[in-house]
Structures are given as C-alpha cells and as structure tokens.
Structure 1
C-alpha cells in the first residue's frame, strides 16, 4: 500500500510539474512570438525606420505606404524668402522647387538661391550643401561650385544628380564630400525633372517634350519616349506625345510623369517605352475619380511608394494620391486655397507645391511659394 501511495504521489507531482512547465513556455497571448500586434509589418522593410513611431503608440498598426493619413506639419522654413541656415523655422529658402532623400537627409533644390540645401530629417537642421549663390557652372566642392536655375534632383544613395536647367547640364554631387562635377551636357535645352532607378537616369525636357534615359555607368543616352513636338498621344517610344513634363518618378519597372500641359499623369514601361494615360481628363479641375474621371490643375511633382503615386497638384494647392493598380485618384491633403496651415487632410493648406518625395511612410513636399518644407504622415 505504501509503495502504491508513493507511486501515486510521484505521478501527481510529475503531472503537476509538466503542467507548470507547459504554462511557462506558452504564456497567454504569446503563442506567436513574432506576432505581438504587428504581424502585418514584421517583415516590411519600408517601415523598418518607423519602429518607434509615437503616432502608433498602441502598436496595433504601423504606418505603411497605403495608410498615410494626411497629417501635415512643417519641417523647415520660416515662410519668408532668404538663404539662412538653421533648424526648423529659423531656416529660410527662396523657391524650394524639388526634393530628394538618401534616407537620412533631404536635399532640396533652392532655385532662386541657386543652391542645394541639406536638411537632417531627424532634427530639421538646414545647411547649404552646394552652390555659391551666384549664377555659374563652376565645378568644385560645396560653395565653390555654382548653378544656374537648377530644377530637378535625384539620388542613388551615393551621388546626387541635378538638372541644372539654364546651364543645360546634368551635375553630379558626391554626397560624402559635396564635390560637384558635370556628369552630362544635354543635347536639348532646359533639362527639368530627373529620377533614377539606380542604373539609369531619366530626364525630362520641358520644351522638347521627351524623356531621355542616361546610363549612369557609361553615360549612353537613348530616348525612352516622346518627340520634340508637343501634343497628347499614347503609344510606344517616339510615337507618343507629351506637353510640358514637369515631374518624374520610377518604381524600377515603369516611369511616371506629371504632365502640366495636358493635366495628366502618364505611365511609361521602361522595357518597351509604351506610354499610357493613368489618370486625368485633360481638363483643368480638382475632381477625384478613377482614370479619366479625375482632373488636375498643373501637376508639377510626383513620387511613389511602389503601390501609390503622390502628386503635387500645384494650382489646386493640394496633394493627390493615385492607386497605381486602379488609377483611382483622391485628395490626400490641402484645402485647395493658398495658405500655410498645418493640420489633417483638407484642414491643411499649401501655396503652389512642387517637389515631393516619399520616404519612411511619410511624404516631404517642397512648398514652393511658401518657402517651406512640409511633412505629411
């Protein structure tokens, strides 16, 4: 009897120990250790830099490319024209036209100052990265270089490329040193917008109504699409026609352009040069809708997160969103009236916004006539 009791007691103890160990290894709510409320974003590289985003303190949802809410704030600029360096509202710009980023800093074409300005994203600190402030085409480091009405800007992460409009040049700036050199002397006048897929540059010519592809490695130049004549026509390569291309971006497969003269957003397949119209009726307006049912008024800037396009609809003083897969256009931010109000969606206001860039689940806008750099989350 004693032996049986001892065996029974040992069995109960072992069973209790197993239950306790099982409970400890599987705490309530922690069955999936990689799924603590953020499973949808646990492998999303686009949001890896937003792991501490205080706007999502409940950790139920991290910002992704598809859920930029439209909250507008001011990152840098006083609102008055000038060329002052400083942090946030102590800095001044004069016609900030285009914008790009290397992931840590923003680089802004400060058109009337004839300079490239650098903004630390984390702090809003503004410095002058390159340009003497005087018209010229001198190469050199930092302030020893000069530009003449620079417009477009893009980066491959190592170098910056600038469409130096009145010099008819594409300039290259080494990010690490600020050294400016001439990368390419254009065969057409007034290079305007520029983007890169890391292998090639894509350059628009506002008066020649075409898009050139330039190999970064060899400087070989080909025409991707368009002719010297202005017009509106979808087609392949030089069979297509454009009118005043102001903005350009790429997702690596397609190039997308903001076409001021036709008030449309066009798509070009890089591999074939096929041009189609993604959105816009061709008439000035501010209607939301799908494809040709939507309307724009002087779309000047464009960027992409890979799923959506974001357009600076300049004369509508608003930022529009286009779903690439469907062509659906909505208004993300901007009241439509000129102003510099921060706020959510249509509570915010802009004054002829131009350049726009997407990074880290936020948009950064060169608010041209306000002389401000705005952030949209």
Structure 2
C-alpha cells in the first residue's frame, strides 16, 4: 500500500503497486482499476472535489493517470512515459518518478512531487498542461523562489484549504518545506536537515526520511509519516512545532496509544 485518500464519507481509495482499491467504511475492499505499472509502481493519489475522478502518480511509468471512480477507466493526463523534466501539455510533458499528488480546492490543478526530478510540478486538470512551480532540477536543500530553490527527493505534498500553500516532504533533506503557490517561494517549515528523532520547533526538530504528508481540515496541522523513525509526527503550520503523535520508534506492527503503538515503515 502506497497512497491513500479519503472520499470524506468514511471510505478510502488506496494505491498498491499496480492497482487502485476502494475500501468501504465497513472494511470491504474492491478493485477500481488495474494498470501495467513498472517498478516502483503506483504511488500518490488525490481525488477531485466532486469525487468523480482519482489522480494517481505512476512513478515507474513517469506519468500522472486519471481514473474515473465510477467506471475505473484509466487515461493518461500528463507524461510521455519517458523520464525527464520537460514542461509541456499532456503526453509531451515529462516527469521523473513522480510520487506525491495533491489537488487544488477547486479541482482545477494538481501539484506533483517529482521525486527524482527534484521539482514541484503543476498539472492543469482540464488540459494536462504541466509547469514547474519550484525546484532547480538539481538535488539539494536550498530555500529560494522558483528555480532558485532545491529539493532533495520530494516525496509527498499537501495543499492548504485555501489553496495558497503547498507543504512538501523533502525525503532525503529530512525537512518539511512550504511552497507558496502564487510565487514558488520555498521556505523550510520544520526539520534541521540532519536525520534524527527530535521533537522541537522549526529547525530544532528532526526527521528521518519522512515520506507522506496530510493536512488537517482546518489547515492548522500537518501529519507526517516519518518512515525511518517508525513514527507519525504532527507539525503546527503556524509555528513549525513538531510533536510525536504515535509510534514507539521501534519497527513492528502493534496497535496501541501514542508511544505504545508500533509502525513498520509508515
């Protein structure tokens, strides 16, 4: 299981290596769509505001797919299938192992963490037109505006409820970064850049290969899958304060409350 998104009615859509699954509120699982995916397979998933369409990062295929929720019909929204970083429309555009996907509140645009492209990309849902929001295309962990900024394997992305800001998990940079949608300005919200497992504020906090991120409905908090720490961390958007929500730090798979719970590479 790689990506997960809620339909906001108690059910979930989940990506595996080659499938999109629907998990009902009662725990029943059905297949929505299956694709011929290359390693590492399907990753991030987002859902349109009207719940009619799913958008999936085909990481091995270097594409963004659109899946009709009702029928399971799969089409390529953007990406040629060859790795690269070309901004263009539909199949003329290129990605390099896209991972995380978020959709704007009005459903008009997707924002993609282009993992090995070291960029954050924007895809217009109506046309498949792809542009670069931020990132030079060279790995690093540098704040800046647009192409002056650098990412170090961005893997997850969430968007604020008003659509003005993106929150990006910089996996090998061990940071959570903020990107202004209008300008492409990138700043570090939390994380020292050195891997560790320290709760703290802003740069005093530490992560270890964080991967996925989700945002609360009111936009006040982020929830981060801190993979190598085997923890779920909470980040306050206003201050960058990081606390551990759950996970003992020991790799296992046990239910429990807070630090009594165990995760296995969440």
Q: Shared topology, TM-score over 0.5?
A: yes
Deviations 1:75-98 (A, max 9, x none): xxxxxxxxxxxxxxxxxxxxx011
1:234 Cα deviation after fit: 0.5
- Residue 148 (structure 1) shift: 7.2
Q: Equivalent of 2:16, from 92, 101, 110?
A: 110
Q: CA deviation at 1:274?
A: 0.7
Match of 1:222 among 116, 120, 131: 131
| Match status 1:123 vs 2:26 | yes
Aligned length: 244
- SS of the equivalent of 2:228 reads helix
Distance change >3 Å, CA 148–CA 330, structure 1 → 2 = closer
Residue 148 of structure 2 aligns with which residue? Answer: 239
CA 236–131 in structure 1, closer or farther in 2 if over 3 Å, else same: same
- Structure 2 stretches lacking a partner, 5+ long: 80-92
Counterpart CA distance in 2 for 1:272 and 1:333 is: 35
Gaps of 5+ in 1: 1-95, 138-146, 354-377
Q: Secondary structure at the match of 2:113?
A: strand
Query: Post-superposition shift, 1:136?
Result: 5.0
Q: Which has the higher helix share?
A: 1
Highest relative contact order (Cα 8 Å, sep 6+), 1 or 2? 1
Q: CA deviation at 1:181?
A: 1.2
1:291 counterpart = 2:194: no
Aligned partner of residue 238 in structure 1, secondary structure: helix
Alignment of 1:5-154 (within 5 A): 96-104=1-9, 105-111=11-17, 114-120=18-24, 122-131=25-34, 135=36, 149-154=41-46
Distance 2:44 2:177 in 1: 18
What are the residue-to-residue correspondences of 1:267-286 with 2, within 5 Å?
267-286=178-197
The whole-number CA distance in structure 2 between the counterparts of 1:207 and 1:148 is: 12
Partner of 2:52: 158
Check whether the contact 2:230–2:248 (CA below 8 A) recurs between aligned residues: yes
Higher-Rg member (1/2): 1
Change (3 A) 1:324 1:129: same
Aligned 8 A contact 2:32 2:71 in 1? no
Taking structure 2 as the reference length, the TM-score comes to 0.88
TM-score, normalised by the number of residues in structure 1: 0.63
Q: 1:245 to 1:136 in 2, by over 3 A?
A: closer
1:148–1:339 Cα change, 3 Å: closer
